[in-house]
C-alpha cells in the first residue's frame, strides 16, 4: 500500500518529492515500532524525512475496544521557498501548520484492543486508507488554503 501511495502521488500526480514527509508509529509500551513501514519509506525518502511519532499521531483506534493498528501518513510542505529555507518542514509535521499538511494515511489494521487494553493479533489483517481530496487539490493547484481551490471557489463565487 505504501508503494502504491508513493507511485500515485509522485508518478501520477507528479508532486514534488522534496516536499514530502512520511510518518510511522514509533512504538510504545503496548506495541512495537512499525519498522516495516519505516523501512519501506526509506526506499523513497531520506531518513530525515521519515519520522517516528507516538500513538496519538500514528496509531489508529476506532474506540476503547476493537480493531486497531499502527498507521503511516504522508505529509506535504506547501510553504513558499523563502519560508522553507528559514525552517525545515520536518519541525512542522503534525504541528497543525496550515501549509504542512497530511494528505494521505494508511492504517494497518492488525490488532484487536480488548477491554483490559491488551492487544491481540487479528486472524486477518488489512489496510484502511484515506486521502484528503481538498488537501490534494490544494497541493496540485499550488494553493495555500483549502478555500482557494477550484472546488470551493466555485461555491464561494456563487454566493
End-to-end alpha-carbon separation of the chain, Å? 40
Q: Contact, 105 vs 70, CB < 8 A?
A: no
pTM above 0.95, yes or no: no
Please compute the mean of the pLDDT values over residues 146-159 and round it to a whole number: 86
What is the reported pLDDT for 60? 96
Give the HSE-up count for residue 58: Cα atoms under 13 Å, Cβ half-sphere: 27
β-pairing, 20-25 vs 50-53, is: parallel
In whole angstroms, give the CA distance from residue 104 to residue 20.
11
**Residue 2 CB partners (closer than 8 Å, separation 6+):** 37, 40, 41, 72, 106
On the question of pLDDT at 158 being above 80, the answer is no
Q: What is the pLDDT of residues 59-104, one digit of tens each?
A: 999 899 999 999 999 999 999 999 999 999 999 999 999 999 999 9
In whole angstroms, give the CA distance from residue 69 to residue 62.
10
On the question of pLDDT at 159 being above 70, the answer is no
Q: Which regions of 14-156 does DSSP assign to beta strands (E)? A: 20-25, 50-53, 59-61, 66-77, 100-113, 119-131
Average pLDDT over the chain, rounded to an integer: 95
Amino acid at each position: 500500500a505504501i508503494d502504491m501511495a508513493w507511485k500515485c502521488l509522485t508518478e501520477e500526480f507528479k508532486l514534488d518529492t522534496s516536499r514530502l514527509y512520511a510518518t510511522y508509529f514509533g512504538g510504545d509500551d503496548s506495541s512495537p515500532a512499525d519498522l516495516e513501514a519505516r523501512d519501506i519509506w526509506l526506499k523513497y525518502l531520506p531518513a530525515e524525512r521519515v519520522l517516528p511519532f507516538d500513538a496519538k499521531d500514528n496509531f489508529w483506534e476506532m474506540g476503547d475496544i476493537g480493531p486497531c493498528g499502527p498507521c503511516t501518513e504522508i505529509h506535504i510542505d506547501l510553504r513558499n521557498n523563502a519560508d522553507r529555507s528559514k525552517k525545515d518542514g520536518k519541525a512542522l509535521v503534525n504541528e497543525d501548520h496550515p501549509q504542512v499538511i497530511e494528505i494521505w494515511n494508511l492504517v494497518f489494521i492488525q490488532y484487536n484492543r480488548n477491554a483490559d487494553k491488551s492487544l491481540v493479533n487479528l486472524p486477518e489483517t488489512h489496510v484502511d486508507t484515506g486521502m484528503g481530496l481538498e488537501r490534494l487539490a490544494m497541493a496540485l493547484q499550488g494553493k495555500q488554503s483549502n478555500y482557494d481551490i477550484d472546488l470551493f471557489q466555485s461555491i464561494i463565487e456563487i454566493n
